[in-house]
Chains A and B, each alone.
Chain A
Amino acid sequence: MARKELVDASQVLGDDSRSEALRKQLERIQRAESVISAVLRIGVLLSLLVVVVGVAVSFVGKPGTYLHNNAINKALLTRSSDYPHSLSAVFSGLSHFQGEAIIVFGLIILLATPILRVLVSAVIFAFQRDRYFVPVTVFVFLVLVTSFLLGKAGG
């Protein structure tokens, strides 16, 4: 794998600039990268797993939804309100082991992953006392939260 080349921070810096401060900075960046990469990977795998389970449950529990032409065509050509699109509806659907609700829950995990990534980076930068990137990531996180609140109000 190529990443082994980068584990050695001195290689990125080159022999000429292997100062202690720079080496430390690169190590910090690499630590942040492995945490953020793990957050993304876990989010993606978890959502994929939940979505697949949801599809399977839909097939088994309510074959009509996916298997009958008429039902699916009608569902796709119009915006239906049959499926859950509020958090409370999703959770009540989950408790009844509804396929749709499980799929939507998986999609929510997917949507939350980039937002969680921003939050985790803010925490990492705070630990590293990065005076530029703490405000940068906190600002982005607040903008995301604001847009969700505005979206709720407007939509």
Chain B
Amino acid sequence: MGSFVVELFFICVVAGLAGSLLGIGGGIIVVPVLTLVFHVDIRLAIGASIISVIATSSGAAAAYVKEHLTNMRVGMFLEVATTTGAITGAYVAGLVSQKVLYVVFGVILAYSAVQMFRGHFRNTERPVPKDALADRLQLHDAYFDEAEGREIRYKVTHTKFGLFLMYIAGMVSGLLGIGSGALKVPAMDLAMRLPMKVSTATSNFMIGVTAAASAGVYFARGEIDPFVAAPVAAGVLVGAVGGSRVLPRLKNGFIRSLFVVVLLVISIEMLYKGVA
């Protein structure tokens, strides 16, 4: 059964690579692979996906933070909302039907995907509305874009609305145990107007903390199985470190297209779960 470890390791390298490029946790790959291919118990698969989220986040963030691709001030400020949202989600979990939630968020994600796709054709130079809160917190920043070979300065806007969206994103991950990155990236890209790569790098920075908030519960319940989690952690870490070397060299437009496709897949997956 040594093959189980090896196969899972390599699949998780891919999950870590995709997750680190797109600012998502890789749970969309890890959970179906574990349950459908390896027939692992769903609870252990979700436990492993929590490990995958944290590994993707820390593995890639080490590089993104150093390269100044992550906007740490934006990330840390928004973590106030994601962590509180995650706790709220865990508490109201019994009150709302999971099926309804899957449908609601499936629709929201599909809508975000369409908006982000339309963003391709929008004039990217259009003015960013002034935001007093972003000024006061000194959230505006710049990064050096390797793909374009120049420094890109950007202004952050709609900070309060972004905070609200992050609360919702945190709540969803607390409720459904998945999908927090898929909501964070569109919120930063569409509402707060961060450049695409900064959005994915900053989301990547934040998802580890959101996941860590719920990891304790899974661990105490015995849902983090060392033999499942070990190849997941190792594979995802290797993939995420690899992805973090590649992202700076990719174009914002390419990352956005890739993200739109993955977002549509997640949204279909959610809608299916809600209806089936």
Contacts and interface: CB of A to CB of B under 8 A. Distances in A.
Interface string B44-82: 100000010011011101110111100011001101100
23 contacts: A2-B248, A5-B151, A13-B142, A37-B66, A44-B59, A48-B234, A54-B226, A69-B1, A71-B1, A76-B225, A79-B44, A80-B225, A85-B219, A104-B224, A104-B226, A106-B230, A107-B230, A140-B79, A140-B80, A144-B213, A151-B220, A152-B220, A155-B220
Contact of B213 (A2, A110, A136, A147): A147
B126 interface: no
B261 interface: no
Given A66-B5, A151-B216, A155-B220, A146 B87 contact: yes
Contacts of B43: 79
Contact of A72 (B68, B215, B227, B248): B227
A81 interface: yes
A12 B142 contact: yes
Nearest to A154: B217
A60 interface: no
A94 B186 CA distance: 43
Contact of A6 (B68, B76, B136, B234): B68
Contact of A76 (B44, B51, B234): B44
Contacts of B209: 114-115, 117-118, 140, 144
A126 to B, nearest CB: 13
A53 B90 CA distance: 34
Contacts of B83: 140, 143-144, 147
B76 A76 contact: no
A103 B39 contact: no
B4 interface: yes
A3 B67 contact: yes
Contact of A55 (B58, B63, B230): B230
A111 B80 contact: no
Question: Ordered nearest first, which 3 A-B pairs have the shortest CB separation?
Answer: A151-B217, A114-B208, A103-B226
Looking at A34, A117, A137, A152, the one whose CB has the most chain B CB atoms below 10 A away is A117
A123 interface: no
A149 B130 CA distance: 40
Interface of B: 1-2, 4-5, 38-41, 43-44, 51, 54-55, 57-59, 61-63, 65-68, 72-73, 76-77, 79-80, 83-84, 86-87, 90, 136-138, 142-144, 146, 151, 153, 208-209, 211-217, 219-231, 233-234, 237, 241, 248
B80 A44 contact: no
Contacts of A3: 66-68
Contacts of B214: 147, 151
Looking at A3, A132, A137, A151, the one whose CB has the most chain B CB atoms below 10 A away is A151
Given A54-B230, A79-B222, A117-B58, 14 more contacts: A30-B68, A44-B58, A65-B227, A71-B1, A76-B228, A79-B44, A85-B221, A111-B212, A113-B208, A118-B76, A143-B87, A144-B209, A146-B87, A148-B216
A68 interface: yes
